[in-house]
């Protein structure tokens, strides 16, 4: 099944990052078009970002995480108000893009 998922962990708290707004866009021409959005659940997961009626197409995608609002809700000032991850999808498969985040750093990788 083709899908794009994410899992956000707050490494400074040692917990899943619940409630982070995430936007998915696909590169189209000289710009970006909306492909999906959602919020991480209590386990820090967003199980499918693609719009239900949209198949996964080959191309370049961009995930934008609203980390500023998340940290503000926890009374923490952050250096990164948004984390943006751009990646390529090369076919119909599952793309899992985890994010490890703290107020002053982040890391990502291709998960499974």
> Which pLDDT tens digit goes with each residue over 11-38?
999 999 999 999 999 999 999 999 999 9
In a domain, 110, yes or no: no
pLDDT band at 53 (very low <50, low <70, confident <90, very high): low
Helix/strand/coil for 98: coil
In a domain, 53, yes or no: yes
Nearby residues of 85 by Cβ (< 8 Å), 6 or more positions away: 62, 63, 65, 97, 99, 108
In a domain, 106, yes or no: no
The neighbouring-strand residues paired with 94 are: 3
Domain of residue 32: give its range: 3-96
- Tell me the residue ranges of DSSP E strands in 1-112: 3-10, 15-16, 21-28, 31-39, 45-46, 59-65, 83-89, 94-96, 99-102, 105-108
Q: What is the pLDDT of residue 46?
A: 96
CATH number for the domain including 45?
2.60.40.180
In a domain, 19, yes or no: yes
In a domain, 58, yes or no: yes
In a domain, 105, yes or no: no
In a domain, 12, yes or no: yes
In a domain, 18, yes or no: yes
Contact criterion met (CB below 8 Å) for 104 and 79: yes
Q: What's the number of domains the chain is made of?
A: 1
pTM of full prediction above 0.85: yes
pLDDT band at 51 (very low <50, low <70, confident <90, very high): confident
d(CA 43, CA 58): 29
Residue 112 has pLDDT above 70, yes or no: yes
């Amino acid at each position: 099944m083709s899908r794009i998922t994410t899992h956000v962990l707050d490494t400074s708290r040692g917990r899943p990052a619940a409630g982070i707004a995430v936007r998915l866009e696909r590169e189209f021409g000289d710009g970006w078009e909306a492909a999906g959005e959602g919020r991480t659940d209590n386990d820090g997961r967003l199980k499918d970002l693609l719009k239900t009626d949209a198949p996964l197409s080959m191309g370049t995608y961009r995930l934008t995480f609203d980390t500023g609002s998340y940290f503000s809700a926890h009374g923490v000032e952050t250096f990164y108000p948004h984390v943006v991850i751009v990646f390529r999808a090369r076919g119909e498969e599952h793309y899992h893009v985890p994010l490890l985040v703290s107020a002053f750093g982040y890391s990502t990788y291709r998960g499974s």
